[in-house]
Each structure stands twice: as C-alpha cells, then as structure tokens.
Amino acid sequence: MGDKISIKNLNFYYGKNQALYDISMKIPEREVMAFVGPSGCGKSTFLRVFNRMNDTIPYARVEGEVKIDGKNIYKTKTDVVALRRKVGMVFQKSNPFPKSIFENVAYGIRINKMHSGKKDLADRVEKALRDAALWDEVSDRLNTSAFGLSGGQQQRLCIARALAVQPEVILMDEPASALDPIATQKIEELVVELKKKYTIVIVTHNMQQAARISDKTAFFMLGKLIEVNPTEKMFTNPDDELTEDYITGRFG
C-alpha cells in the first residue's frame, strides 16, 4: 500500500523551545500508526502538525516538509479548511457541542455544505453514527442533548462527527484515556474497523493498546523519533535499546 503521509526533516518550535527534532517518516495508507513515548516527548505536537492545528498557537513554527497525498501541506497556498476536512481529529477529552446528538454530527456536513437536502443530511448523519458504532444506542434520541450520553458514547459521537465530513485520515490523541475498559474496548474495535477505509494515526500511553490495534508503531523521546517499525517487531525485537527499555517498562 502507498504512503498517505510523508514527513521529511521536520523541526517544530514553540517560540524558542524546540519540541520536535528532524523527524522523517512515512505513514502508510489504510493502516493504523501508533505514536508512543513518555509524556512531553512531542506526540501531540506531531499529531497536530498533520491538520495544522498548531496554527492556532501564534508563536509556533514548523520547518521541513509534510506531504499528504504528495502535496506539501505547509505551502503558503494550502487551503487549511479543506485540509482539516480531509484530516479529521478526535481529542483526548470528548468535546461534543452543546447541541443535540443529530446536530453534533450534522455540524461538519453543514459548514462544509456537503449535503443536498434534508433527507441527504439525515442519511449522512445516520451513516456516520453507524460507522462509529453508535447508531443502535442513540437512534431513538437523536434530538436530545449530546451531554446526556455516557463518556464513552460521547467519544464515539465525536468520532462520528469527524467521520461525517468524510475525511481520509483520522488523528486520535489518546481517545480512550478517559474511558473505562469496556468503553475503551469499543473504541479499539472501532479503530480496527475504521482502518479499512481510513488512515489512522493514534497517540496512546497504553502499550497493550498499541500492540493490539496498530500495524506500525513509532517511538518518540524528547522530541526525537527513536524508532518506527511494524508493531509486531517493535514489541518483540526492537532495533533500539531505548525502545526496548520503554516498552518493557524500565522507564517512562
């Protein structure tokens, strides 16, 4: 399979502080790539490079090249709104809007004017909710507030909201860290299901989770990419000693 995202010599700065050092790697299409590493090593920063969410921080600066489908997304002409539609994001803390379940999912469809009428909108919302494995639980209360859902359901609602704009890549920043084991398992099953259609990059602190759901794993430390390899190799026979130490829990 081809590479969806390719990163070359990426450096990232928060003002004077460098957060990422000379990172080069490729993220294959329709696979799950897991980012692991100790807290503060730059996983979230790196993830937010792919949909240019770091643009909201005025003192942040990017150097190097990030290509998605062969196009450098940091070229001056890049349409950031279109980029973010193509590269969806799910956050650590679920963050539904103060709207109904239906309107949460419909939001992205509406602002991007993707629907051709009421019926089409409803169909798209249903499809996104089904893809997020939430439809059966909410189909009878679509017009009630999203805050009435459980934490795990709210997170799947946020996934549905991201799916509704038909992205090609989904970035997930510790999407299950605030959830109980059962809700976490549902999200994991969902990720495995979603990779049939989407390229997924997921940040996690949970090594077992990375081992269970990812095809490739990248290990970071202090802003540097230490190793990226197929997950199986990473967890059985890593190239780097640091990786082994981290995975076996000798530090971090």
Q: In the complex, which residues of this chain contact ligand ATP (CB under 6 A)?
A: 14, 19, 39-45, 57
CB of 244 to other proteins, least distance (A): 35
Rounded Cα–Cα distance for residues 221 and 147 (Å) = 37
Residues 6+ away with beta carbon under 8 Å from 101: 138, 141, 142, 143, 144, 145, 146, 149, 157
Residue 112 within binding range of other proteins, rule CB under 8 A: yes
* Interaction residues for Mg ion, span 125-184 (CB under 5 A): none
| Token pair of 136 as six digits | 């059966």
| Token pair of 79 as six digits | 């349409």
CB of 58 to other proteins, least distance (A): 7
Rounded Cα–Cα distance for residues 252 and 116 (Å) = 50
- The nearer residue to ligand ATP, 42 or 108, going by C-beta atoms, is 42
Position among 61, 71, 75, 93 found at the interface with other proteins (CB under 8 A)? 93
CB of 189 to Mg ion, least distance (A): 23
**Exposed e or buried b per residue across 221-234, where buried means at least 16 C-beta atoms within 10 angstroms of its C-beta:** bebebbbbbebeeb
Residue 44 within binding range of Mg ion, rule CB under 5 A: yes
Interface residues with other proteins (CB under 8 A) are 51, 53, 56, 58, 81-82, 84-85, 88-89, 91, 93-99, 107-108, 111-112, 146-147, 151, 154, 158, 161-162, 165
